[in-house]
Amino acid sequence: MSAETRKLDALMKPLGVIVVIGVLFLGFAPESIWHSGGVAPASARKATADVTLQDIDGKRWSLAEQRGRVVLVNYRATWCPPCRQETAGLVRLANEYRGKGVEVVGISLDEDLTAVREFVAEYYISYSILCPSNASNLTTMIESIPVSLLYDRQGRMAKRYVGAVSEATFKRDVEQLLAEE
């Protein structure tokens, strides 16, 4: 093998690794990367059925009772690394927009309520964490987590996110809904 062939071979190996990593990333990247556009136009949004659940303290929470507010619902679990990744941003968003007509709520898919309470304490979560009952069909509608649903002030779904989402993306979309009449 000539010196030039060895140099070319030495250059191509790292390039091959980079290409393989890139293909794997693109193939397994969360859907939210591909659907990071804005919220659906108001004319395309459909009314959604009411969701009523209990929070971890046993208090009732209803989507219908949130009319007039922008609502961000985040399906998550304590054992989910991407869920943990986006939690700090959700906490900041909830704290910043609480008095501006925005409600953030988490729906825990955990079975261990103790783990959920520890998660809430660890991340200083100040918004409601809901727990669907075993009879609820909510968990059957979720293919992977985290999943977040953004509702406008009329309770219509404006956007669905799959995978971890940045705080900046949530803020941009919330601001867009808050600006609507």
Each domain of the chain, given as residue ranges in start order, spans 1-34, 35-179
Residues 72, 107: contact at Cβ < 8 Å? no
Q: How far apart are CA 168 and CA 181, in angstroms?
A: 22
| Model confidence pLDDT, tens digit, residues 24-69 | 333 334 444 444 568 899 999 998 888 899 999 999 999 999 999 9
Note the pTM of the prediction, 2 decimals.
Answer: 0.77
| Model confidence pLDDT, tens digit, residues 128-157 | 999 987 545 555 567 789 999 999 999 999
CATH topology of domain 35-179: Glutaredoxin (3.40.30)
> Can you give the chain as a three-state secondary structure string?
CCHHHHHHHHHHHHHHHHHHHHHHHHHHCCHHHHCCCCCCCHHHCCECCCCEEEECCCCEEECHHHCCCEEEEEEECCCCHHHHHHHHHHHHHHHHHHHHCEEEEEEECCCCHHHHHHHHHHCCCCCEEEECCCCCCCHHHCCCCCEEEEECCCCEEEEEEECCCCHHHHHHHHHHHHHCC
- C-alpha dihedral (98, 126, 79, 155), degrees to nearest 10: -30
pLDDT at 81: 95
Band (95; pLDDT cuts 50, 70, 90): very high
Identity (one letter) of the amino acid at 101? Answer: G
